[in-house]
């Protein structure tokens, strides 16, 4: 005797409750024997169609949490500003926001375009790219940098909201065409 694969069936709902591999005489009815090569790996989404006596798979619905996770990953992938890719994780966004506020204050105090020491320190102001390249920025550039980071977040939040408003949420919610084209390629 050789082991068999079988789907355990809930007799009240016809849902598949588990997938087992064992000797056939050990199975507890109701069950459905799976042929070699049957694609079932887990019970999720599978049901016995009582009318046809076959197993039917229905993909689980995409949740808003899945869309939110995709949104967050795309935001945190970074954004492009001035031809450079910058980090955009939560800590980076907080730092960028703080620098943009500092830059706005310097601009209201008369910081001129091209002045890289607008921040009051003895060295030129610069920001590190995702690849650790220093990019010098005057106050006006830092303010625009902060606006670009905020816009990167905003367009992803609204793209996610648009996806969540679709019922049901598309199974290809993670396809690039649903999202802003601002997401840079992954870091190498």
Q: Scan for tokens 């091209």, then name that residue.
A: 114
Segment 152-168 mean pLDDT = 97
pLDDT of residue 41: 85
Q: Residue 126: beta bridge partners? A: 136
pLDDT of residue 81: 97
Segment 164-185 mean pLDDT = 88
Q: CA 2 to CA 22: how far, in whole Å?
A: 8
The percent of residues in the chain predicted with pLDDT above 70, rounded, is 96
pLDDT of residue 53: 86
Average pLDDT of the chain is 93
pLDDT > 50? residue 156: yes
pLDDT > 50? residue 175: yes
pTM listed for this prediction? 0.75
pLDDT > 60? residue 16: yes
78: alpha, beta or left? (left if phi > 0; alpha if psi -120 to 50): left
Q: What residues contact 133, with CB distance under 8 A and at least 6 apart?
A: 84
Segment 99-121 mean pLDDT = 98
**What are the helix (H) ranges across the chain?**
64-76, 90-108, 139-164
Query: pLDDT tens digits for 29-47?
Result: 898 889 888 888 888 889 9
pLDDT of residue 184: 57
């Amino acid at each position: 005797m050789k082991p068999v694969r079988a789907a355990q069936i809930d007799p009240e709902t016809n849902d598949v409750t588990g997938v087992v591999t064992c000797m056939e005489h050990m199975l507890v009815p109701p069950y459905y024997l799976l042929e070699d090569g049957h694609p079932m790996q887990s019970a999720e989404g599978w049901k016995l169609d009582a009318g046809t006596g076959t197993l039917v798979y229905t993909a689980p619905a995409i949740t808003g949490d899945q869309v939110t996770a995709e949104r967050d990953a795309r935001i945190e992938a970074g954004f492009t500003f001035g031809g450079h890719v910058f980090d955009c994780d939560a800590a980076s966004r907080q730092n960028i926001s703080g620098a943009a506020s500092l830059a706005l204050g310097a601009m209201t105090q008369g910081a001129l375009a091209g002045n890289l020491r607008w921040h009051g320190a003895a060295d030129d102001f610069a920001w590190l790219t995702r690849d650790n390249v220093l990019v010098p920025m005057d106050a006006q550039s830092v303010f625009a940098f902060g606006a670009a980071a905020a816009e990167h977040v905003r367009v992803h939040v609204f793209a996610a909201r648009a996806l969540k408003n679709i019922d049901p949420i598309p199974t290809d919610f993670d396809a690039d065409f649903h999202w802003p084209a601002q997401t840079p390629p992954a870091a190498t």
